[in-house]
Amino acid sequence: MSWTLCVDFGTAFSKAAAAPRDAWARFDPARVRPLMLNHQGEGSAFLLDSAVFVDDTRILFGRAALARAGADPASKRAALRSFKTLLSVGDLERALSSGVPASIDPHRMFSMRDLILLYLSYLTACIARAVAADGELSKGDLALRYAAPAWRSSEGVGAHANITRLFGEAAALRLQFGADVLAPEGVDIQRARAALDATRGAGAPDMGLIFEATAAAAYSSIGLENAASHLIVVDMGAGTTDIAALAASGGSLAEIAEARVTLKQAGDFIDGIIANIALESHGKLKTAAQQAEFWRVMMADMRGFKETLFATGRAGFRFDKRVVKVALKDVERDKDFRLFAGALTSAYERGIAALRERALADGRREVHAIAVGGGAAAPFIQALVRRQPKSAGKVKVIARPATPAWAHAPAFNGNLAPVFPQLAIAIGGALAPESMIAARGGVSQA
């Protein structure tokens, strides 16, 4: 069988999913394959921590990298993260050739490009392991894609050749490292340096690029009798909140450029607000060292804390024999949060206005709204996509659920639905037909 496999870098987590090549025309939820990339024991098996840590003698990846980076609260050492943000910059070639801070690479042995290649070798090894463990995928023919934000469409497509070259060199690195790249202790630092030099210039694979908003439109429309022909997507990840609108007409899907917005505040920004409120509430941590330790411990458990806060409106955190409580209303009253919420609402309403005009021109009286990403379940995000803003005029806004009904299919044993919003882009990218691809190809093999 022929399959399509799509990789979503994410900011905090990388994800990948596969679907049959003809899934768009003959959809069967049981055939969707979210890949279990994470074998390091914590968190969801579908979410791979995007992190690299340059230790004294080893390069660590994923959860092991984050654990090592947080092992010494007094240290100024840090793991490299936010690969998606870097790979989406306007001048990618310049960004890749830049150096990295001493806090990330105290040895001054690696460029930004080197560390991204090392991470991609780890990511592709995790993908290869997941494919090998699936009896059908391992025997099938795989076409590769990756998802990227269309923050600047022309530049996003222009960077495609650079990104496929990175994947090609990362695949060559993976072969050099073998199974060692998957070991919790990572790979030897000198071996990593030599392997990077040996694989430079390796040929790129034939990969497709799909914009994230297009992937969201694909997964939200498939399997529905009344597909969303005019759609606005709010994607709140860890590093950015992106808004995009799309319209389907005549069998093609086009982005509405006037609606596209990227806000530099997202999940990490909300985490910081919550942690600061909790720190202030504690009230008895006076020294910088005490406050740094509080911040470190709370951030390590922030995901669970935030889920409880969003679900119930209140959450508690135990530190230094005290229970610190944070209420959702405290977050919503925060000055920085209000500024972000105001900017997000304004951007969303402008996007709705642009989508309304396109829908009316196409003879439609309704548009659809959907939230994706790790922040999709946040109450203020859900309230945003469920409201009927004045900018919609007489066009009805219909909210689509972040998790479609088919994600609850028995074939997934209850494992997919809880993390679907974070996997949505990878799954949508795998399901989308070839006509939705923004760029195709790579560099010819040498």
Collapsed DSSP state (helix, strand, coil) of residue 255: strand
Q: What is the pLDDT of residue 150?
A: 64
Q: One digit per residue, pLDDT tens: the chain, 446 residues?
A: 899 999 998 778 999 999 999 888 788 888 999 999 998 767 788 999 999 999 999 999 999 999 898 777 667 788 988 776 666 666 677 777 788 889 999 999 999 999 999 999 999 999 999 999 998 999 989 999 999 876 544 445 568 888 899 999 999 999 999 999 999 999 999 999 999 999 988 888 899 999 887 787 777 766 543 466 898 989 888 888 888 888 877 666 677 888 888 888 988 899 999 999 998 888 788 788 888 888 888 887 888 899 899 999 999 988 878 888 999 999 999 999 999 999 999 999 999 999 999 999 989 999 999 898 888 889 999 999 999 999 999 899 999 888 888 888 888 888 888 888 889 899 999 998 888 888 887 533 32
Collapsed DSSP state (helix, strand, coil) of residue 168: helix
Round to whole Å and give the CA distance between 145 and 437.
9
For tokens 């795989």, the residue is 142
Helix axes 288-300, 302-312, angle to 10 degrees: 70
Q: What is the pLDDT of residue 443?
A: 38
And the tokens for 29? 């939820």
Q: What is the pLDDT of residue 319?
A: 85
SS3 readout for 177-213: HHHHHHCCCCEEHHHHHHHHHHHCCCCCCCEEEEEHH
Helix axes 267-282, 288-300, angle to 10 degrees: 130
Q: What is the pLDDT of residue 198?
A: 93
What burial class does residue 399 get, using C-beta atoms within 10 Å of its C-beta: 0-12 exposed, 13-18 middle, 19+ buried? middle
For the beta carbon of residue 418, count every other beta carbon within 10 angstroms.
Answer: 14
Q: What is the pLDDT of residue 224?
A: 43
CB burial string 320-333: b at 16+ within 10 A, e below: eeeebebebebbee
And the tokens for 104? 């990330």
H helix and E strand count, the chain: 15, 18
What burial class does residue 37 get, using C-beta atoms within 10 Å of its C-beta: 0-12 exposed, 13-18 middle, 19+ buried? buried
Largest CA distance in the chain: 64
For the beta carbon of residue 405, count every other beta carbon within 10 angstroms.
Answer: 11
Round to whole Å and give the CA distance between 75 and 201.
36
Query: Which residue type sits at 136?
Result: E
Residue ranges and CATH numbers for the domains of the chain are 2-210+437-441 (3.30.420), 229-399 (3.30.420.40)
Q: Single out the residue of 51, 153, 58, 148 nearest to residue 107, CA to CA.
A: 58
